[in-house]
Homo-oligomer: A and B are copies of this chain.
Amino acid sequence: MVGRPRSEVARKAILRAALDLCARDGYQNVTMKGIAQVAGSGRQTVYRWWQTKAQVLLEALTDVLAEEVPELPDTGDARADLVTFLEQTFTLARGVAGQVVVGLMADAQSDAELAAELRAKIINPRRAALRAVLARGAVPDDVELELAVDLVFGAMWYRLLNRHAEVNQELAEEIAGLLARIN
């Protein structure tokens, strides 16, 4: 026998509520209780499918990215493609997705399981994408791509976290320009 099937309505409402609360109150101030309340669902329904608010937001983020992440640009101009890719990434990072992923990264510092999931579902795919773009000629062939990825996304993360500067098109162009100067 099967029992009542999971309510897709409730699932969507919970993910939606989690994102809304994150946008409204900031990641740290989101609570499981608040998510359930705003979603109009019972607390147990949230806990039945996710262990922590981080799990909820990770799934919410995954869903959002699945919809919003664009195709890799491939115009033949390596440098222009890199700028396009970065600006697309930065646009996402400036929105709720950025807030969520920064919060998740913060929580992941004290939750190894979350850290692994975050890397597997969010971080590594983006790293692979950047690596692919870089490999098309944005840096010389003999440059260690992992290092280049660390430098480029590192700069983005650093600015997202520390907020000492914007993560915008200007940054994308400066990075592409500097990488192009490597001989």
Contact = CB atoms under 8 A, between A and B. Distances in A.
A102 B119 CA distance: 17
Interface string A143-183: 11011101111111111011111000001001100100111
Contacts of A171: 147
A117 to B, nearest CB: 12
A178 to B, nearest CB: 6
A43 B171 CA distance: 46
Contact of A109 (B102, B148, B150): B102
A115 interface: yes
A20 interface: no
Contact of A26 (B110, B123, B150): B110
A106 interface: yes
A27 interface: yes
Q: Is the interface of A mostly helix, strand, loop or mixed?
A: helix
A159 B150 contact: yes
Q: Top 8 A-B pairs ranked by shortest CB distance?
A: A106-B106, A154-B154, A154-B158, A28-B110, A154-B155, A26-B110, A150-B155, A151-B151
Interface of A: 26-29, 99, 102-103, 105-110, 115, 119, 123-124, 127, 140, 143-144, 146-148, 150-159, 161-165, 171, 174-175, 178, 181-183
